[in-house]
A and B are shown apart, each in its own frame.
Chain A
Amino acid sequence: MAEPLLNVDNLSVSFVTYGRSRQVLRNVSFSVAAGERVALIGETGSGKSVTAKAIIGTLPKNANISAGTIGFAGRDVLSMPRAEREALKGTAFSLIMQDPLSSFNPVFKIGTHLDDVMRFADKRNGISTSKAERRTRIAAVLRRVQLADGERVMNAYPSELSGGMRQRVLIGLALLHQPKLLIADEPGTALDVTTQDEILNLINQLVKEENMALLMITHNLGVVRKVADRVVVMHHGDIIETGPCAEILSNPSKDYTKALLEAVPPLYGPRVIDLPRSECAPIVTIKGLNKIYGKRPGYHAIRDVDLTLREGEIFGLAGESGSGKTSVARIIMELSRPTSGTIDIDAPAPGRGRRLTQIVYQNPGTSLNPKRTVKQTLSLPLTSIGMDADAREARMRELLDLVRLPQSYLAKYPHELSGGQKQRVAIARALAAEPKILILDEPTAALDVSVQKTVIELLMQLRQDLGLTYLMISHDLSLMRNFCSRIAVMLRGEIVEEGVTPEVFADPKHPYTRALIAAIPVVTDVEERLKPIVTEEERMRFLVKTTA
C-alpha cells in the first residue's frame, strides 16, 4: 500500500483541568488512504472529537499532545510552522460541523459566509479575485450540494433556511477548495431522520465524485454502515478495534464493540422485542383535539387528533420536529389548553398535591436544577403531598432503589452525575408522587446507546412493577419498535397512521411512515433489505423542503 493520505501514529493527548491532568487519548493510531471512507465511532468521552480536533489543529489551550505524529500526505502536521499548518485548512482537509445553526453568524447572509472563506483562502494563496467571480464559483459549489436556487440561498440569512439546507451549505463551505480529506463531525445528528438520510447520501455522492477521503465521526452505528468502508472503534481514549465496516458490524471481535452493537435497538429481525398489547380499559381518551398557536390565522399545531391510551400500555407518538407530538403531550399534562377537543383521563382523582400525569424530559442536563442536590430535587414533590421529614427520607431511599442509584447519591449535585444517572434522578422525581401516567419526551435522545439501553430496561421494569402507563414521544423509530406496544405517527399536526407496533412496521400503510422507516440508519444489511420500499417521488414529498 502506498503512503496513506492521513496517518495518525501513536497519538496521545492529555487535558489539564483545575490543575489535574487527564489523559484523553492513549496511543491512537489509524490511517485513511486517499479516497477511503473511515468512521471513528465511540460514545461520549471516547476521544473521537478530540482526535478530529488534533488533526485539524483546533485543540483547546489546555490540551497537550504528549506523544505521536499526525502525517498528512507524508508530512508531519504537528511539526509544521503555524502559517503552513493554517494553510492546510480548507485545502488539505475540511471540516463539516455538527450543528448547522450555531455554525453561522446570524447577522450575516449565507453568501457572505461563503464569500469570506473563499476570499481569505484566495488571499492566502496569493490570488486576487473579484466579488462577481467568486460569486459564480460559490453558486457552482452550492449546485454541487444540491441547492438549486443558489442566488436565493446566498441572499438568505441563516435563520431563513431549514436545518437540512444549512447543513448543505456547511458541506458546501467545506468543499470550496477541493479538500483531499473531508472530516465530518456528526453531520445530521441535529436533523430529522429523513433529512439526515439525505445529507448522508449527499456526502457519499460527493466523496465519490470528488475522489475525497472521508473521516466520519459519529456515535450512530447505523450511520457508519451507510458511509464507511473501514471503522475505528474508540472507547475512553483507546482504540478498541479497527476493521472493514461489514466485518466490525457483523462479526466484531471485541466485547466492547459487541456490547455496543447489542445496545442498538433493532428495526427488524430476531432481536426485535414485541411488547404484549394491553387489554385494559382506556385510561386517556382524546377526541377531536386541535391546537392553534397565536391569533388569526395562527399556527395550526394539532389537527383533529383522536387518541386512546389503554391502562398499562406503552403508547408511542412518533414524528419529526414540528409534527405536534410535544404539543399533544403538553395538553395531556395540562400545561397548555387545547383550542378545541376533549381529554378524558379515566382514573380516580389523585390526592392533594398529586398529579395523574408526570413527565420525563429529553435532556436531563436542563431538567434538573444545577444548584439543587438530588435530595432537594426529590424532596420537593414529597413535600407537596404533605409528607413529613421521616416519611420523605424513607420514600427517597425507596425511589433511589427503584431507579437503581446508590443511596449516597442523595447528596450529589447534577454536575457530579453522568447523563444516565441524571435521567434516573429525573425518573425518580417523576415517580415520587405516584402518578398513573408517565409522559416520556424522548427520554434517551441525549444519551449514549449503551446508557439508553439501561434506561429503557429500567423504564420497562418500572412499568411492570408499578403498573404505569407510558406515553413515549420520539423520533427514533427503531427504539419505539422495541419499546412501544402501539404507535401513532404524526405529520404536520395530524396522525397519519396508528396501530399495533409490529403491524405498523411489517406493513406501513401511509407513505410517510414508509419514508420514515426507510430513512432510519440500520446496522445490518438484513434489516436494510426488510425496510419498506419508498419511491423517490414519495421520499421527496415528505422531506422537509430542502431545496425548495
Chain B
Amino acid sequence: MADMKMLDASDRGLSSGYMMWYRFSRNPAAVVGSLILISIVILAVFAPWLTPYPKHVGAVVDFRARHLPPDASHWFGTDKAGRDIFSRTVFGLRVSLLLVIGVLGISVPVGTVLGLIAGYFGGWVEKLITGLTNVMLAMPPLVMALAVSNLLEPTLTNAMIAITLLWWTWHARLIYSVSKSIASEDYIEAARLAGAGPIHILFREILPNCLAVISVKTTLDAAFVILFGATLSFLGFGVKPPTPDLGSMVADGRQFMPDFWWEVLCPGAVVFYVTLGFNLLGDGLRDMFDVEN
C-alpha cells in the first residue's frame, strides 16, 4: 500500500489549539494584558470583600477624613466627602465592566449579523446596510451620545443605549468586508452546491472564519467603550451619584487639582490600567490569530 504510506508521511499537523497557545504564551503583550484583565475581573467581582471600606460606595460622609493623601489605610487617599478612593475605584470597575458587557453584548452580535448579511447577499441588501452604517458613522459620536443621554435620563442604562447605537456600525463595517471576501471563496460555492441554505452558510461557513477578527476587534473595542463611558460620565451624563464611576470621580476631583491630586490621578490611573489591559490583550490576540489590521 504505497498509497497509505504516503498519506501517513504527511500526517504531522500540529493541533490548532497548540499553535495558538504557543503564539499566545510567547507574546508578552498578550500575557500581561490577560493578567491585567484577570486582576480587574477578580477585583470587580469580589469588590465587597477585597476593599477596605465597602460602605463608602454609598452616600457616606465623613468630614473628619476628607481630602486625606494616600497612606497605608487609604491607598488612593480620600475624596471631598472623606470616602476611600481605592474602595470607590474598585467598585467603579464594576460599572465600567458592566458598560463593556452591555454595549458590546448588543452591538457586536448586531453588527456581526448585519455585516455577514451585507457581505454575503450583496445587491440591494448590501447597499441598504452599508448606506445605513455610513450615515451612522458620519455622526460625531460624542454629540450623538450626548443627545441621546439628554433626551433620556442620565443613567447607566441610557449611557449604554447611547454608546450601543453608535458602536454596532464599526463591527458591521468590519465584518462586512471580511464576509464579502469569504463569500467569494470556493468552499462557499461548494456548500451552496451541497444544498446549504443561507442561514447555514452565514453562521456555519462564514462566521467561524470571522471569529478571530471579531474577538480582536471586540477586545480592542472594550478599551474604547470604557474610555467613552468615562468621558460621558465625566461630562455628567453617566451614572448618578453616589454610585462610584471612574469618569465622574475624575470629574469630582478636578476642582481640587492640583492640591489634592490623588482624587483625579488615582481613578484616572485605573482607567489607564483597564484600557491598557484590553489593548495589550487585543494586540496579543491579533498576533495569535495572525489577523491583519
Contact = CB atoms under 8 A, between A and B. Distances in A.
Nearest to B184: A366
B10 A418 contact: yes
Contacts of B10: 417-418, 420-421
A87 B191 CA distance: 52
Chain B facing A: main interface SS: helix
Give the most central of A367, A376, A432, A433: most B CB within 10 Å. A367
A416 B15 CA distance: 8
Interface stretch (B66-74, B192-200, B245-253, B268-276): B192-200
A369 B193 contact: no
Chain A facing B: main interface SS: loop
8 contacts: A369-B209, A371-B211, A376-B204, A380-B194, A380-B196, A406-B7, A421-B10, A454-B6
B16 interface: yes
Interface size class of A (residues with CB under 8 A): 35 or more
B3 interface: yes
A13 B290 CA distance: 26
Interface in B152-198: 185-191, 193-196
Contacts of A385: 195
A363 interface: yes
A376 B187 CA distance: 13
B208 interface: yes
B193 A418 contact: no
Given A359-B190, A367-B186, A380 B16 contact: no
A20 B193 CA distance: 40
B190 A415 contact: no
A152 interface: no
Give the most central of B10, B188, B194: most A CB within 10 Å. B194
Contacts of B23: 18
B205 interface: yes
Given A366-B186, A380-B200, A418 B194 contact: no
A143 to B, nearest CB: 41
Given A361-B186, A363-B186, A421-B7, A370 B209 contact: yes
B18 interface: yes
A429 B19 contact: no
Interface string A310-335: 00000000000000000000000101
B194 A432 contact: yes
Contact of B193 (A18, A355, A383): A355
B123 interface: no
Give the most central of B10, B200, B205, B208: most A CB within 10 Å. B10
Interface string A379-420: 011011100000000000000000011100000110111101
Given A361-B186, A369-B209, A405-B7, A18 B200 contact: no
B196 A384 contact: yes
A294 interface: no
Interface string B206-228: 00110100000000000000000
A314 to B, nearest CB: 21
Nearest to B207: A371
A369 B191 contact: yes
Interface string A106-129: 000000000000000000000000
Give the most central of A369, A420, A454: most B CB within 10 Å. A369
Given A380-B195, A421-B7, A416 B13 contact: yes
